[in-house]
Amino acid sequence: MSLISICESIQVTDLSIAIREGALYYPIIGGIHLLAIALFGGMVLAADVRLLGWGMKSSTVADVVGQLRAWKRFGFVVVVASGVLLGWAEPLKLYHSKSFWIKMALFLLVGVHALVFRKAVYGNPERLDEAASMPGVARLAAVLSVILWAGLVFSGRLIAFDE
């Protein structure tokens, strides 16, 4: 089964038609998607500025990374779930959208980022607090995280304008 035929079969499901054609579903799910971006994005930003030493200095890295983790995960789950629903409404459009595939590539890189930096940065923040100065690897993780996150917002927004 090819990818496009999968998209075609999603396109004709009741759920897809309902989100696409119901007047309210799409903006409501879109609104939830945006709010989750703000929540998740705010948490990511707080951790990144702390790692870069640009803010949150009265908190330890362990606090910023550890205590916001639950909200970050919650925001992430909501943003992905609402994103899947938005995508479910128009799979054929997404299949042909260059921005969508860029967004998916960036999303994959977010996973790679999490795996690569888990050991040295996010999984062990106490060690960063003990270090005399913030290790380069932590700064690199923060910079890449901001770039990936902004890239997701931009490529996501551009999907609506692809044609």
Partner 1 sequence: MSVLPFLDWIASSAVAKVINGPEWAFPVVQSFHFLGFAFLIGTIAIVDLRLLGGGMRRQSPAELAKDLKPWTLIGLVLMLTTGPVMFSADPRVYYFNPSFRFKITCLLIAIFYHFTIHRWAIRPQAAPIVGKLAAVVSLALWTAVVAAGRFIAFV
Nearer to partner 1 among residue 46 and residue 106 (C-beta): 46
Shortest Å distance, C-beta 99 to partner 1: 9
Helices (H) and strands (E) in the chain — how many of each?
9, 0
CA distances from 45 to 23, 64, 115, 125, 132 (A): 34, 10, 19, 16, 23
Residue 101 phi/psi, 5-degree rounding, is -70, -30
Contact code string over 33-62 relative to partner 1, x by CB under 8 A: -xx-xxxxxxx-xx--x-----xxxxxx--
Amino acid (1-letter code) at residue 68: L
Shortest Å distance, C-beta 27 to partner 1: 4
Whole-angstrom distance, CA of residue 128 vs CA of residue 24: 47
Nearer to partner 1 among residue 27 and residue 123 (C-beta): 27
Amino acid (1-letter code) at residue 121: V
| 68 is a contact residue toward partner 1 (CB under 8 A) | yes
| 157 is a contact residue toward partner 1 (CB under 8 A) | yes
Whole-angstrom distance, CA of residue 48 vs CA of residue 50: 5
Nearer to partner 1 among residue 11 and residue 59 (C-beta): 59
| Contacting positions for partner 1 (CB under 8 A) | 23, 26-28, 30-31, 34-35, 37-43, 45-46, 49, 55-60, 63-64, 67-68, 70-71, 150, 153-154, 157-158, 160-161
